[in-house]
Amino acid sequence: MDHRKSALLALSVFVIDRAAVSVLNLLRASMSQPTRIAYLNLTTLVFVWGLPLLVVYRIERRGAESLGLKVPRERYAMYSLYGLLGLVLPGVFLGYSVGFIWELLEQMLFIGLAEEFFYRGYLMTRLCDWLGDRRGLVLNAIVFSLAHATFLLTRYGLSEAAFTLTSMAQTFLGGILMGYMFLRSGNIVPGAVLHISMNLYLSRLFT
């Protein structure tokens, strides 16, 4: 499969995922909060994790490196230090709890790590193969910000338009930063550590 087709297929997976999430948000009044969260998590497992893996291994016939999952052995120690400083050490100062452990697992499966796998490892790799690193990086950041905008718009409507615009700006800049980290490292680990750490600790620092 050529680079253009791979990129368009990845963008199609993105659209399918956002459509499923949007429908669940629009139907939120007819289901309980735990049920809605369970379905949202299921869409992540199917469309963010499962479908890209199926496409890459069965259709593209490519390997883990094309998903940013291959880490050179010489970086194991360095990345372990990143994880310690970014994920473990802040929790020592801010305090651990059972709820925190569950939130960390949620970040791994459904949010921080999942988004780095999909948006950087899967989507950005194909956009950069097709358009080049610079344009692929920018387009990926735009798509990343649109993903958060569609979630907020279908969740809150236009009543939170200012918050949605602020979130789009933040996630665009975050997409540029984590995309650059991905380009420099060739894998999703550094960006995932930063992404999860920011999601876990920034709100705790400012509350």
What's the rounded mean pLDDT across residues 87-105? 80
In three-state secondary structure terms, 30 is helix
Is residue 64 predicted with pLDDT exceeding 70?
yes
**Whether the predicted pLDDT of 201 surpasses 90:** no
More confident position, 15 or 94: 15
**Burial label, 145 (beta-carbon count in 10 A; 0-12, 13-18, 19+):** buried
The 10s digit of each residue's pLDDT in 141-165 is 999 999 999 999 998 888 888 999 9
Centre a 10 Å sphere on the Cβ of residue 50 and count the other Cβ atoms it contains. Answer: 11
Q: Where are the domains of the chain?
A: 3-205
User: How distant is the alpha carbon of residue 84 from its chain centre?
Assistant: 21
pLDDT tens profile 27-42: 988 899 889 999 999 9
Of 117, 122, 126, the residue nearest 5 (C-alpha): 126
Q: How confident is the model at residue 104 (pLDDT cuts 50, 70, 90)?
A: confident
The CA-based dihedral angle spanning residues 132, 135, 137, 141, taken in that order and rounded to the nearest 10 degrees: -150
In this prediction the pTM is 0.93
Q: Is the pLDDT of residue 174 over 60?
A: yes
The token pair that represents 59 in the structure block: 């259709």
